[in-house]
Structure 1
Amino acid sequence: MSEEPKVIAGVKVPDSAMARAATEVVRDTETDLLYHHSRRVFLFGALTGERNKLKYDPELLYVGAMFHDMGLMDSYASDTERFEVDGANAARDFLKAYDVAERDIDDVWDSIALHTTPGIPQHKRPTVALVTAGVEMDVLGLAYDDFTPQQRHEVCSCHPRGLRFKHGIISAFCYGTIRKPETTFGNVKADVLSRMDSTYQRKDFVDVILESQWES
């Protein structure tokens, strides 16, 4: 693997032994699409933290971002847990090999376990909030215009989205969950409103991805 840039869009990428080990584990496990996505999640999350003047630990954010989709991979997927929990457990096991405080491990666990649960992470500590912010920017294009064109260009130049990232990430989500569909049962109140309120319009996650401001 060629050496990654140390600074991207003004963000210094963590280069400690722990961060390098996390990079190696994820690079060796995930597909290229998910690896580059995870790196972009870190960068967009860090840029969000800097823009909002949040005090965050770059290494914790990095591990949370890098491991957030590990549960989609067969080698880390359990038979019954949500993929988010599988990824969170993988990150926790990884961090326990290093001198990381239990509270920080819990924050990384939460950052991964909650990254598909909108409305909650932004109220948690920065590691949790910023992993989700990075995911929402890269997958859904949320807060797209809060990033400068130069920031978006530099991030995607170093970690390309590819010509069909939108379709590729949807496929990755599908293949990572299709064998345990019961784990996809989400916010049950949407089911209540769809049954009880004739004016309710359920949002479709795939539509949000495909209709985002990202070109591909």
Structure 2
Amino acid sequence: MAANDTFDVIIPDSSLAREATQLIRDTESNLLFSHSTRVYFWGALIGNRKGLTFDPELLYVASMFHDIGLTSIYQNSQLRFEVDGANAARDFLRNHGIGGADIEKVWNAIALHTTPGIPEHMHAEIALLQAGAGMDVAGRGFEQFTDEQRGAVVAAYPRESGFANKMIDEFYHGMKHRPDSTFGTFNDDFLAFKDPGFKRTDLCSIILCSHWEHR
């Protein structure tokens, strides 16, 4: 989506952004790539509407990498998929000479993008990645965008027919091999939805059955 007087949001025109785009395009499904790009636009539009100061390039890289942990590259990982994505973005940025403070912002943005109640109190890039992801996946804040804004973003990066179920499938396939990584997050919802045999870990049972209670 090109810049225009109405939206004033563009993908950063830098070698870093172009390389991030190509890497993610070559790695992710079309559904995840388009989703990640829309996340950037939603986040940047929210940032502009709220008058936040943020680095578009950092937000873009965070958006590009935020779901790479769901891909088959990490089919043997036992880490949270968010941490895999954060680590991949960290390595990418280090290889491009980006400073530690900026890398930390991107790492935290990706690692925390599925953790409600925390990102909005941190750096703008961290808050905006979560807000953009929430908008694209669950429609959080949908009514705060104009019809024109939503139409322009989706026209440039289409939301596939059946996106909701396809996105749930992406989450499921990206985490079914590491169910323990979903404990304490809402990610176990995806496993429970797709696998009737999945059993959630219950923290109350862990506390009640701990060694402290059976000395």
Instruction: Flag whether TM exceeds 0.5 (same fold).
Output: yes
Amino acid at match of 2:153: V
The equivalent residue for 2:29 is 31
> What are the within-5 Å matches in structure 2 for residues 1-216 of structure 1?
5-7=1-3, 9-187=7-185, 191=202
Q: Distance in 2 between matches of 1:76 and 1:111?
A: 19
The 3 A distance-change label for structure 1 pair 184 and 137 is: same
- Choose 72-81 or 146-155, whichever is displaced more: 72-81
1:77/1:86 contact within 8 Å kept:
no
User: Cα offset for 1:85?
Assistant: 0.3
Q: Could you say which structure has the larger radius of gyration?
A: 2
Q: Distance in 1 between matches of 2:172 and 2:162?
A: 15
The equivalent residue for 1:208 is none
Amino acid at match of 2:93: L
Amino acid at match of 1:7: A
User: Cα offset for 1:10?
Assistant: 2.9
Q: TM-score, normalised by structure 1?
A: 0.83
- What is the Cα-based RMSD across aligned positions, in Å? 1.9
Q: Distance in 2 between matches of 1:160 and 1:107?
A: 28
1:111/1:121 contact within 8 Å kept:
yes
User: Cα offset for 1:163?
Assistant: 1.0
What are the ranges of 5 or more consecutive residues in structure 2 without an aligned counterpart?
187-200, 206-215
Q: Distance in 2 between matches of 1:163 and 1:193?
A: 40
1:78/1:86 contact within 8 Å kept:
no
After superposition, the C-alpha distances for 1:39-83 in whole angstroms (9 at most, x for unaligned) are: 000000000000110000000000000000000012145521000
Q: TM-score, normalised by structure 2?
A: 0.83
The equivalent residue for 1:212 is none
What are the ranges of 5 or more consecutive residues in structure 1 without an aligned counterpart?
195-216
Amino acid at match of 2:28: E
Q: Distance in 2 between matches of 1:11 and 1:74?
A: 31
Q: Distance in 2 between matches of 1:72 and 1:131?
A: 17
Q: Distance in 2 between matches of 1:35 and 1:151?
A: 19
2:76/2:177 contact within 8 Å kept:
no
Q: Distance in 2 between matches of 1:78 and 1:138?
A: 28
The equivalent residue for 1:199 is none
- Choose 52-61 or 9-18, whichever is displaced more: 9-18
Match of 2:52, SS?
coil
